[in-house]
Structure 1
Amino acid sequence: MKNKVRIIVPVLLVVLLSALGAFYWFKLSQDRFAAPRKDAPTVQFRVAKENTLMAVTGNLHYYGFVKDEEALKYALQHTKDNTPGKEGAIKIGNNTIDTETAYTISQAMSAWEITRILLNEGTPSVSDCDHGCPSSNPFTPEILPGGDIAPTWQERMRAKYSWVKTFDDCVAAIGHDGGQVTSEENFKQTGHPRVCNTTDGRYFVQGKEGWSDTPLYP
């Protein structure tokens, strides 16, 4: 009896450890496909005409939309593609991702969800460089590396010129980034106090404290 116990206990331990190892491996493998964030806004991800599969999966990983680039490639190969690829589509196995197309995705989506959208959903988004080429950032609104939404131009200017508190500060800040101030001649002609407009969209009146975010005079 003792001999049987001596044999059974190690066997049970091996089985238990194997089961725990298998469970851990399964959980770890599934985590590769999980959403990077619990809550995140949707954005537009544009796949350009010249993009390759490496560019698409690399961008989604670099900007924090998938945890594992290889897991995304696996999902792209093993998810059903219900739409025929258009001319110039990116091929991955038997599936395709349309180029010159925008896709609505979020960092709160799993790799499987993003894959379903890339393979089956999207809005045509043809680039027109006749009026200036779009930003190289493939996301709208613009996304920073790692996944945070980039501040708008006005937010960047407001941070840069946060030191501007008065009319005189505003005049001193006028330069490369823009800004303007009404002239003395205009003051003499209209009787309106001189107004300085900062690059970040604030208006300061000479002789008055504070500022407004709307034009003071037509």
Structure 2
Amino acid sequence: MASNLLELRRAAGYKNANDFAEAHGIPASTYARYESNPDKIPMDRAWQLADILGTTIDAIVGRKAPAPGTARGEVQLEYDGLTPEARQLADELREFVLMKDEKIRAHRRREEERPYEALCYQYEQQMLSQMRDGAAFGELVAFDSAEAARTTFESFLQEQAAKKRGKHPLKAQELIDNRTIEKIMAAYDRTHGEFELEGMQVLWGSVDHGVAVEYDSAASGRGGDARA
């Protein structure tokens, strides 16, 4: 066991143990004990040595991890002792539980996603309203591509967040805003697609929102026209 820490230290370029100890603020006699009895190294010092040498605590103390499958827990041992018929029942129950677990997780994901989909819809309507207000009378406000629509919306979110932060924003608030925008854009990607309607390419929102945003491939890319 003593050779493991010794080899790690030498691999790090320290041929002499005293040089290593001095370089890292460890008393030479203390470090000598570590190399002789690595299983006696205190936990905090083991973490320090692992960080210094770029390895794990297991490597520092010379512990060998058990081979996969050799460490069997109490539940596994009980399963191994079941009759074949009981194992089949246990397997069926496990599949049922996993299926229910996935449904629960999916439901929770949807519950977490819905608020951001609502924010996405609200901000998109706000953006489109501003674009219509700035358009000339009778002018069709349209995006030239789905990607242009997405890019315009993301820029709009960034602008709105910057306005709310003001002239002297906190870095932490900017990070929070960026994470929120990422989630809103993920909602945008979930709720927007592209299809053809009467010869025109159309972007659509989710059925919940009931929104379709037209774009014309020949348009200038100034914005979009929403139709419920």
Q: Which has the higher helix share?
A: 2
Q: Which has the higher strand share?
A: 1
Same fold (TM over 0.5): no
Q: Which one has a bigger Cα radius of gyration?
A: 2
- TM-score by length of structure 1 reads 0.29
- TM-score by length of structure 2 reads 0.28
